[in-house]
Amino acid sequence: MALDPALAARLKRNADGLVCAVAQQRGTGEVLMVAWMNDEALELTLTTRRGTYFSRSRNKIWVKGETSGHTQQVHEVRLDCDGDTVLLIVDQAGAACHTGDRTCFDADVLLSPDPR
Amino acid sequence: MALDPALAARLKRNADGLVCAVAQQRGTGEVLMVAWMNDEALELTLTTRRGTYFSRSRNKIWVKGETSGHTQQVHEVRLDCDGDTVLLIVDQAGAACHTGDRTCFDADVLLSPDPR
């Protein structure tokens, strides 16, 4: 099944044909991960409500959690103002990060809150 | 001032020398916008605590709100597991989106919560 042409026309893909995708946990608002989608991944995400991305390293569609079981049930998808990024509101099963951390942003703090 | 070499070595920049940057409102958790940073923009963000990006369309450093007044006070910066995306926890003054919306994801809902 192809992406709705009206939606496809609104996407501003990068040179690799991808849009950026931010996954956020429903309720808590945690930013879980950032990944990439081609048209097929977006279409699959919208129709199956399973977070589905395009793996740049493996050059293929990737259903989040298909091997780890750490799936994403997708509640909402929003497109940003310039059409190059989608925001997914999801229920993340287990860890979103391949390291086992809850989010991909848990481990490496570059700047902490200013104590002043 | 140059980015700390130890940090610079950990960044995984795209072909344009940029990392992805997600700005999230402190407290509410709203995902405000997604933009891009080169090393200089990240260094300026870390040292000034003003959200500072690299404009791909204008090909220059861009201090968020420098013309609109809609600045970002940066509380935290985190690097993701593979070094290609930073998450900024900010206090956003006014609208984050150039359209006047609070966030860049307010206007265009592709998928709504499943009523089931």
Contact across the interface for A81 and B87, Cβ inside 8 Å: no
Question: Radius of gyration over alpha carbons of chain A, in Å?
Answer: 15
How long is chain B?
116
Please provide the DSSP assignment of B61-101 as one string.
EEETTTTTS--EEEEEEEE-TTSSEEEEEEEE-S-SSTTS-
Contact B37, B21 (CB under 8 A): yes
Question: Quick check: B114 pLDDT over 90?
Answer: no
Q: Report the pLDDT averaged over residues B93-115.
A: 94
Residue B111 domain-assigned? no
pLDDT, mean over chain A: 96
Residue A103 domain-assigned? no
Return the exposure string of B3-14: e unless at least 16 CB atoms fall within 10 Å of the residue's CB, then b: beeebeeebebe
Rounded CA separation B27/B40 (Å): 28
pLDDT grade, residue A116 (50/70/90)?
low
Enclosing domain of residue A56: 5-92
More confident residue, A1 or B43: B43
**pLDDT at residue A114, rounded to an integer:** 75
3-state secondary structure of A97: coil
Complex-level ipTM: 0.96
Residue B80 domain-assigned? yes
Helices (H), chain A: 5-10, 39-48
Residue A100 domain-assigned? no
Residue A113 domain-assigned? no
Residue B107 domain-assigned? no
Residue B98 domain-assigned? no
- Please tell me the distance in Å from B27's CA to the nearest CA on chain A: 10
Prediction pTM value:
0.96
The total of structural domains in chain B comes to 1
Q: What is the CATH number of the domain that holds B18?
A: 3.10.20.810
Question: Quick check: A55 pLDDT over 90?
Answer: yes
Identify which of A68, A60, A59, A72 has the alpha carbon closest to the alpha carbon of residue A98: A68
Rounded CA separation A79/A83 (Å): 6
Rounded CA separation B82/A98 (Å): 10
**pLDDT at residue A115, rounded to an integer:** 74
**pLDDT at residue A96, rounded to an integer:** 97
Contact across the interface for B105 and A29, Cβ inside 8 Å: no
- Please tell me the distance in Å from B60's CA to the nearest CA on chain A: 18
Spatial CB neighbours of B49, under 8 Å, sequence gap ≥ 6:
A111, A114, B73, B74, B75
| Burial of B73 (C-beta count, 10 Å sphere; 0-12/13-18/19+) | middle
Question: Quick check: B110 pLDDT over 70?
Answer: yes
Residue A75 domain-assigned? yes
Q: Report the pLDDT averaged over residues B12-30.
A: 97
Q: Report the pLDDT averaged over residues B27-35.
A: 98
Q: Report the pLDDT averaged over residues A16-32.
A: 97
Contacts of A101 in chain B (CB under 8 A): 81
Residue A3 corresponds to which tokens in the numbers above?
A: 């992406």
Condensed to tens digits (0 to 9), the pLDDT of residues A69-114 reads: 999 999 999 999 999 999 999 999 999 999 999 999 999 999 998 7
